[in-house]
Every structure is written in structure tokens, then in C-alpha cells.
Amino acid sequence: MVRSAEALARRQERSELRQEQVLDAAELCFRAEGFHGASMARIAAAAKMSVGHIYQYFESKDAIIIALCERRFAGFEHLLMAVEQDKRPAATADIDTWIAQFAWWIDPVRAPLTLEIMSEAGRNPRVAEVVARIDRRFREIMRHSLISAAAEIPTEEVDARLEAIVMLSHGMTSRITADRDADPDRLLAAFRSAVRRLIVTPAG
């Protein structure tokens, strides 16, 4: 029984490694050619696997895109959760620490694929469902942080200010993608200035 469990665990580990191998290859292909330009054959070649082998782990290219969405945004979620678990969001330094996590959105390598995912969500209902679910998770985490950090903001204004922060973060991704000469540090500084006003400025 123990050997059986160990064998099952090893198979599961191998399967997860193969899935990551496919996702790594798919990410490279999608960044270069877009979701619709990159064929399964190209992904298979990049992964050094056959197309048939890939189908053992993902039922379709849509399934790869969806798994990549989950993996891509999990990184930002973990950053937010790590700050949230500190339980010290009220101080100025901690607000800046929270804001600093949004640098995730302006990584020059990550940003174009993030926009590709958003664009695909407008065309593909399955991807849209995943993106909406991820968005709800982000908002739940951020809303809790915002309420803790911005004690002076009336409850009825929290959602509006949260919406503004979300729009600003998406805007940074657009800017770093549209202007390859844009300075990520300057973008983040502008974002920090705007968000601090949203967080620390009371109503009225």
C-alpha cells in the first residue's frame, strides 16, 4: 500500500513537471505569436514533445491558455497575500510595500502576455470566466487591504477607489507594452503617487 502511494505520488509529480514544461513552451510561443498565431505543433516543438503527448496533459489549446492564465496571475496573488498576512497595512511604509507589489503589472516580459490574456477574454467565454474568477479573487484581497489601510475612507467609497486602483494597474500594463522605452520605475512612481492619494485621502 505504501509503495502504491509512493508510486502514485511520483507519477503525479512527473505529470506536474510535464504540464509545467508545456506551459513554459506555450508561454514562449504565445508571447512571440499570440494565442491564435501559435499552433499546437509550434508549442510541441518548443516543449520538445509530440502533439499527441501534449494532449495527454491538456485536452486542447484552450485548456493550455486557461492553465497559463491561472499560473500567470497566481504570482501576483501570492505577492498580495504575503503583504496581507503581515497584518500591518496601516503604516505609511506598509502602504508603500503593498503598492510596490503592483510592479508585477509592468514587467516588460510579462506585460504583453497579460494583455494577450485580457484580449482573449473578450473573445473566448472560457477564458473570460477564468479571468473574471481571478479578478474577483484579486478584488477580495485588495478590498480587505484597502479597508485596513484606509481607515478614513467611508465604506461606501472603498469599492470606487478599489476600481480606480484596478484601472491604474491595467493602465501600467498597457503603457509598458505600448511604449517599449517607458521607464518601469517612473511608471510605478506615478502609480504610487496616484494610489497613495486614493488610499490616504479622506472623503470630502
Cα–Cα–Cα angle for 9, 10, 12, rounded to 5 degrees: 65
The count of domains in the chain is 2
What range defines the domain where residue 48 resides?
A: 1-58
CATH number at 28 reads 1.10.10.60
Does residue 72 share a domain with residue 47? no
For residues 31 and 96, membership in a common domain is answered with no
Is the domain of 82 the same as that of 159? yes
Same domain, 35 and 121: no
pLDDT 10s digits, 57-111: 999 999 999 999 999 888 888 887 776 666 544 445 567 888 888 898 898 888 8
Q: Which residue has the higher pLDDT, 77 or 148?
A: 77
71 shares a domain with 39? no
Quick: pLDDT tens for 14-45: 889 999 999 999 999 998 899 999 999 999 99
Query: Do 96 and 179 reside in the same domain of the chain?
Result: yes
Q: What DSSP designation does 99 have?
A: H
Q: Within this chain, do residues 30 and 18 fall inside the same structural domain, yes or no?
A: yes
- The residue assigned the cell 470630502 is 204
Contact between 69 and 117 (Cβ < 8 Å) = yes
Q: Is the pLDDT of residue 174 over 90?
A: yes
Q: Are residues 135 and 54 in the same domain?
A: no
